Chain A
Amino acid sequence: EAGVAQSPRYKIIEKRQSVAFWCNPISGHATLYWYQQILGQGPKLLIQFQNNGVVDDSQLPKDRFSAERLKGVDSTLKIQPAKLEDSAVYLCASSFLGQNSPLHFGNGTRLTVT
């Protein structure tokens, strides 16, 4: 099966600029996650969708981050304006519905804010 697709792989922007990341989950996976992974730390959940509805965005900095999953398939995550501390790898993952379903991750987008 095709894996989770993410783009771009790398992005370098200046602080206060905006950036968007795209994710296409595995076909049939109703649940989609965006994680932020700062170097040397574990992935931190930013937002979780089930189909096209948000089920958890408690750790999303809503003053600058936004995400959507139109039609319950592809998703985009946007940062506007970016700060230096947003430098991280942004990982998208998907899974089937159900509590025992493993997460499948994409290769991530490495963001550097200068």
Chain B
Amino acid sequence: GQQVMQIPQYQHVQEGEDFTTYCNSSTTLSNIQWYKQRPGGHPVFLIQLVKSGEVKKQKRLTFQFGEAKKNSSLHITATQTTDVGTYFCALNSGGYQKVTFGIGTKLQVIP
């Protein structure tokens, strides 16, 4: 089945610095979803990208879908301690909506 590589696995940043996580696939994706999981919590849906080259913003978060629909990125501007958690990209495939998660990027923000 389809798989996705996510990098980096871990990232420590000083509060106020920017952060980016990348999701890469060897095959063309129909769409991609992003989730955030706080420590001890469950994944929470952030956004879905569908169109080639699509860019969506949620306050300090910017999500991009590559032109070839094989990669995606999540960028956080001026991180805050509330951004701590693991960010997952997830592939949505198959006619019945199978959702496959990447390994995630664990973000630590140092105050």
Contact = CB atoms under 8 A, between A and B. Distances in A.
Interface of A: 31, 33, 35, 41-45, 48, 50, 55-56, 58, 91, 93, 95, 97-108
Given A50-B96, A56-B98, A98-B97, A43 B31 contact: no
Nearest to A31: B97
B103 interface: yes
Contacts of B101: 35, 42-45
B31 A100 contact: yes
The 6 A-B residue pairs whose C-beta atoms are closest, nearest first, are A102-B45, A42-B101, A105-B42, A55-B96, A43-B101, A42-B103
B97 A99 contact: yes
A108 B50 CA distance: 28
A100 B103 contact: no
A45 B42 contact: no
27 contacts: A31-B97, A35-B101, A41-B104, A42-B103, A43-B43, A43-B88, A43-B101, A45-B98, A45-B101, A48-B98, A55-B98, A56-B94, A56-B96, A91-B42, A91-B43, A97-B97, A99-B97, A100-B31, A100-B48, A103-B33, A103-B45, A103-B90, A103-B99, A105-B43, A107-B41, A107-B42, A108-B42
Interface residues of B, number: 27
A101 B97 contact: yes
B18 to A, nearest CB: 23
Nearest to B45: A102
Given A91-B43, A102-B48, A107-B42, A42 B97 contact: no
Contacts of B50: 100
A58 B98 CA distance: 11
B44 interface: yes
B69 to A, nearest CB: 14
Given A42-B104, A100-B31, A33 B99 contact: yes
Nearest to A35: B101
Contacts of A50: 96
Nearest to B95: A99
B102 interface: yes
